[in-house]
Structure 1
Amino acid sequence: MELRTHPLRQRLNDEVHTRPPIPLEAPALISYLAFVHDENGPAGERAHIGTLYERMGLPIEPSAEAAHLIIDGGNFKLKWEQHGEFSTYTFFIQPKQPALSGETALGAVPVDWVQGIPGQVIAATHIELLAAGSVDPEEMLASLPAKSDTNIVSLIAGQAAWVFTDFRIQQGFSRFTLIDESMGKLRTGRIIQRLLEIETYRVMALLAFPVAKSVSRLLNRAEAELAALIDRMVTAASPHDERTVLADLTRLAAEVEHSVASTNFRFGASAAYYRLVQQRIVELKETRVSGYPTIKGFMERRLAPALNTCAAISTRQEDLSARIARTSQLLRTRVDIELERQNQEVLAQMNRRAKLQLRLQETVEGLSVVVLTYYGSQLVQYLAKGTKELHHLNSDVITAISIPLIAGVVAWGTRQMRKKLAAEEGEGAH
């Protein structure tokens, strides 16, 4: 059957199969580098990986859509993964020297190629995977410095392996020693991948901490300024004072919103990375070794407070933004009410002027009636004088009689015209 397939079906299905762990068997050395993307982004990384293909004589080069590659370089294996903010390079080799000799997987990789990887290193780790019996965990415990919370030792994978680390950077790399008691190849690959993800995600999560410190200084100043503006709003004595306070509030709101917009992604990403760290720690299935902290305990003491600070600053920033918005709305309401009162006063003054104009108009209309009556009576008088031989009546009497008649007609006509104009104005208003 031929069925219409969604264009993203294959891509979405393949997504759950990407970035698989590489099965590992002890002994093995793993060197891991995570680079934050530079301005060239993944395109520059693929081009740089393409140069490695050329040097190794490999026939296939990475496609423009590749986000995950496994390269067999002969004496080493490279796993490259592209993530949203960073890309990772994991190198695997079989060691040539005895256990705990200090040999690393990067020793088998061209130095100039590693140094040319684009971006900035955000995490770098060496892991030495040892086989059971090649070294005694108890002897390693005895060789550790004085017990403190900087030496992390725990049993992982349901007590199938030992892990030793201190999460310190020495010569640019943190170090893990993993003793495989009974994990198996695939499970070992998954555990190695979890450790590397913990190392990367914890650093990526902490990128928000310097941002939180900077935002904290802004919030301290903005909160003090908001309190002062609220006091000014309460004591404002005139509309001008309220408008001045509103202008200052608008400026402060813009400043805080700019901070929210510029830090929201970093705080959100930090919280997401921290959740991944916690999830990966759970997947390690740690068992505590007496006298030494576990990875989970170390993260809870050292990482959690910093991330809680970031979360608190993010919440505090959002809360301040909401408080400024509420204060601005309240003050804007007061300003609007004052403007409405002023508008009502203006309308009242306009109403009084309209009434005065109406009275003046009525006065003018009265004068107009007098004037029209006068001129009309004059016309009647001229007409009476011109026709007195026909009716033998006194023109003055005729003029006197015509005056009230003319005045009445003119007054009635003026009133009818005013009514008609008022009716037309009322219809236009509706």
Structure 2
Amino acid sequence: MTLTRPADPPFEAGHASGAYNDHPLRQEINDEVHARPYETLRAPARASHLGMFSGRHGAEADRAAVAALCERYGVAPPEPGAQHLSADFGPFRLKWERRTELSTYTFFVEEGFEAPFAAPPLELLPADWLAALPGSRIVAIHLALEPSWAPPRSSEALVSLFGGNTIVGSHISGGAARVWTDFRIHDDGFSRILMRDVNLRERQAGRAVQRLLEIETYRMMALLAFPLARQLNPELNDLEERLAGITERMTRSDHEPDEHAMLSRLTELAAHTERIGNTTNYRFHAARAYHAIVRRRIEDLREQRIQGLQTIQEFMGRRLEPAMRTCEAAAERRESLSERISRAGDLLRTRVDVALEAQNRDLLDSMNRRADLQFRLQETVEGLSVAAISYYALGLVGYLLEAASEAGLALRPGLIKGALVPVVVFAIWLLIRYVRSRIARQQEA
């Protein structure tokens, strides 16, 4: 008996792709990890990198500036809403990236050079276009990537390239390249990075260059919060002293504190602190995020020490980390101050509430005493009313008896009046009690 494999069912074209209902954001979120690819670079090459701070609402203006440059060189402009463009303009290549608060423009030229930082790629750009770039310059770097076959530079030659400044450098990418910089702004307004190809592949070189440029870009963006933190510290000192004075007055027992005046001062302190928070929270949170990116990019470099030089990680640890801790301390102080003001306000409001409750209790006690007094006066008045009404009632009865006696009836008016006194008084008392009880029932109803 021979076993045969059953024939496969016929394949219906398009069945697999049409069987699912894709999420409307699937393609967009999948493409996000591919949205900003690394450049490919072959030594020798140079780059000029600009970071223009245009703010959180400057994306459209930045995109329009890139589109204007594309129009001059006959290059397809970025699409509406695009955050990235990488294109060959002929004399140079441009990589434009729009970030949250700034746009970066990196211009690449792959050609030989003798002086790494003379005649940079930025000189190939139209001067009027550069002058019209939106925003203010926050980052400016010239980077040179020299080939492995170029003559090695001595320590003295490296120092002269960076104007005699102290150099920071290391082996990066597992020893596939060397990099030197001084993290200073030179007379031309640009920082300088020299990178030497040892055994870099083209995409590896592009990744290393982008990481170095991003380290400097995000370092500057993170440090935007540092002057703000130093400016904020004296103001926080003053607010903390004012809060301490208010809490000290709250705890003193030598005089009765004015709770309402202190509550007004606490409200003013709270409003001042919240105003500070509204103007600084975004910058401090952004600095924390930028700092985290800097540390991540430094880790990605996989640095190895060059004898006698600080590594980039060591330099950042000595210079950037203290500044970031200052920013974090200022942010934490403001948050702590806000919480302390809130607690002091709650305590003071509790004291005010207790004082108001005591006043209300005293007022109720006074009202109760007044009501009790009125009740006693009412009972006294009722007793006097019974006597008065009885007197007048007996007077009327006396008139009737005297009239009957004069009419010839054998009556003794005085004796009858005396006998009727307790009867009239009791009847009047019952009548008043009945009227009062009826009024009380009507009020309860």
Both proteins in one fold, TM over 0.5:
yes
Q: Decide whether the 8 Å contact of 2:42 with 2:110 is kept in 1.
A: no
Q: Distance in 1 between the 2:344 and 2:392 partners?
A: 70
Q: Decide whether the 8 Å contact of 1:208 with 1:267 is kept in 2.
A: yes
Counterpart among 64, 75, 79 of residue 91 in structure 2: 75
Q: Decide whether the 8 Å contact of 2:41 with 2:205 is kept in 1.
A: yes
What do you get for the CA RMSD once the two structures are aligned?
2.7
Q: CA deviation at 1:160?
A: 0.6
Q: Distance in 1 between the 2:170 and 2:437 partners?
A: 101
Letter in 2 for 1:234: T
Note if 1:143 corresponds to 2:157. yes
Q: Distance in 1 between the 2:237 and 2:57 partners?
A: 37
Mark the CA change 1:290 to 1:368 in structure 2 (over 3 Å): closer, same or farther.
Answer: same
Structure-2 residue corresponding to 1:158: 174
Counterpart among 89, 97, 122 of residue 138 in structure 2: 122
Post-superposition Cα deviations, 1:258-306, rounded to whole Å, max 9, x if no partner, equal 2123211111111111111111100000001110000000000111111
Structure-1 residue corresponding to 2:432: 414
Q: Distance in 1 between the 2:234 and 2:377 partners?
A: 67
Query: Greater CA deviation, 315-324 or 278-287?
Result: 315-324
Q: CA deviation at 1:174?
A: 0.6
Q: Distance in 2 between the 1:419 and 1:150 partners?
A: 104
Note if 1:274 corresponds to 2:295. no
Q: Decide whether the 8 Å contact of 2:55 with 2:101 is kept in 1.
A: no
Post-superposition Cα deviations, 1:79-98, rounded to whole Å, max 9, x if no partner, equal 11111111111111122543
Q: Distance in 2 between the 1:409 and 1:192 partners?
A: 116
Structure-2 residue corresponding to 1:104: 120
Counterpart among 41, 63, 86 of residue 79 in structure 2: 63
Q: Decide whether the 8 Å contact of 2:250 with 2:257 is kept in 1.
A: no
Letter in 2 for 1:117: L
Q: State how 1:336-355 maps to structure 2 within 5 Å.
A: 336-355=353-372
TM-score for both structures, normalised by structure 2: 0.87
Post-superposition Cα deviations, 1:177-212, rounded to whole Å, max 9, x if no partner, equal 111212211121111111111101111111111111
Query: Greater CA deviation, 272-281 or 246-255?
Result: 246-255
Q: Distance in 1 between the 2:388 and 2:184 partners?
A: 109
Mark the CA change 1:387 to 1:238 in structure 2 (over 3 Å): closer, same or farther.
Answer: farther
Structure-2 residue corresponding to 1:307: 324
Q: Distance in 2 between the 1:368 and 1:10 partners?
A: 98
Counterpart among 27, 38, 41 of residue 24 in structure 1: 41
- Where do 5+ consecutive residues of structure 1 fail to align? none
Note if 1:90 corresponds to 2:109. no
Letter in 2 for 1:161: A
Mark the CA change 1:390 to 1:18 in structure 2 (over 3 Å): closer, same or farther.
Answer: farther
Identical residues among aligned pairs (%): 43
Q: Distance in 2 between the 1:55 and 1:362 partners?
A: 106
Structure-1 residue corresponding to 2:201: 184
Letter in 1 for 2:307: S
- Where do 5+ consecutive residues of structure 2 fail to align? 1-17
Letter in 1 for 2:326: T
Post-superposition Cα deviations, 1:112-161, rounded to whole Å, max 9, x if no partner, equal 1112110001111111112211231xx24342339999301100001110
SS in 2 for 1:224: helix
Q: Decide whether the 8 Å contact of 2:50 with 2:137 is kept in 1.
A: yes
Note if 1:44 corresponds to 2:61. yes
Q: Decide whether the 8 Å contact of 1:78 with 1:90 is kept in 2.
A: yes
Q: Distance in 1 between the 2:231 and 2:102 partners?
A: 24
Mark the CA change 1:241 to 1:102 in structure 2 (over 3 Å): closer, same or farther.
Answer: same
Structure-2 residue corresponding to 1:243: 260
Mark the CA change 1:18 to 1:33 in structure 2 (over 3 Å): closer, same or farther.
Answer: same
Number of matched pairs: 424
Mark the CA change 1:192 to 1:421 in structure 2 (over 3 Å): closer, same or farther.
Answer: farther
SS in 2 for 1:33: strand
Q: Decide whether the 8 Å contact of 2:144 with 2:193 is kept in 1.
A: yes
Note if 1:11 corresponds to 2:4. no
Q: Distance in 2 between the 1:336 and 1:101 partners?
A: 72
Mark the CA change 1:101 to 1:70 in structure 2 (over 3 Å): closer, same or farther.
Answer: closer
Q: Distance in 2 between the 1:62 and 1:258 partners?
A: 39
Mark the CA change 1:144 to 1:420 in structure 2 (over 3 Å): closer, same or farther.
Answer: farther
Structure-1 residue corresponding to 2:183: 167
